Amino acid sequence: MRRIGVLALQGSFIEHIATLKRLGVEPSAVKLPKDLVGLDGLIIPGGESTTIGKLATTYKLIEELKRLGEDGLPMWGTCAGMTLLAREIEGATPPHLGLMDIAVERNAFGWQVESFEADLVIPALDRVGSEEEKGKRFHAIFIRAPSIKRVGEGVEVLAALDEGIIVAARQGNLLATAFHPELTEDTRFHRYFLNMVGSGQNAA
C-alpha cells in the first residue's frame, strides 16, 4: 500500500485527504518531521505560502522536506504548494524548498475577488484517464493563484492558459499546479500523482 502524506499545516489539506480517500488511499497528515518517515509521496496543498513556509520552518520541516525532494520523493505542490517547491519566487520570498527549476510569481492574477475558473487542455492526464475521460478538458479553479514565469531545462510544461501563461509543470519527481484540483470532482490529477509514485521516484 502506497503511503501518501499531505502537509497539514494550513490551507486545503482536508480536501486533498478526502480526494485520496475516494481513490482508496489512506493518506497521512504531516505536521512534524516524524510524520515524513516511510512516505512514498507528499502533497503540499494550497493556502498561504508565507504562512505554510513559516510554520514548516517552526516545526523543523523545511530541511527534511528539501532533503527528501532531492532524494527523489515524489512531491506535488498545488497553488501555494507550487510556490514552496519553486527555485525562484518573484518579489517577497517566503521560506521555501527551492527544489523545482521554475520561477513563480505569487498572486499573479490578483487577489481573492479576482479568482477564476478555466477549462484546460492537459494531454498528460490521458495517461491515467478512462476512455471517456481522454481528451476531456480539466476544469481548473484558481484562487489567488501563482503562475510560472520561467521553466528550466528538464521541466515539462503540462498546462497553460490560452494566453500562454504556464499553470502546471513537472520535473522528474516534482509536480506543480497553480490551481486546486482538490476542489473539483475530477480526480485525474490525483491519479496522475499516484501514477508518478507507483512508477518510481524519478519516472518522467
What is the number of structural domains in the chain? Answer: 1
- Indicate the helix (H) or strand (E) that contains 52: helix 49-58
In a domain, 204, yes or no: no
The CATH number covering residue 134 comes to 3.40.50.880
Residue 174: closest CA among 61, 78, 34: 78
Distance between CA atoms of residues 26 and 43, nearest Å = 13
In a domain, 109, yes or no: yes
In a domain, 25, yes or no: yes
In a domain, 203, yes or no: no
Name the residue type at position 98: G
Catalytic residues: 79, 180, 182
Contact 32, 48 (CB under 8 A): no
| 133-190 confidence digits (pLDDT tens) | 999 999 999 999 999 999 999 999 999 999 999 999 999 999 999 999 999 999 999 9
In a domain, 41, yes or no: yes
Report the SS3 class of residue 135. coil
Residues spanned by the domain of 110: 4-198
In a domain, 98, yes or no: yes
In a domain, 55, yes or no: yes
pTM metric for this prediction: 0.93
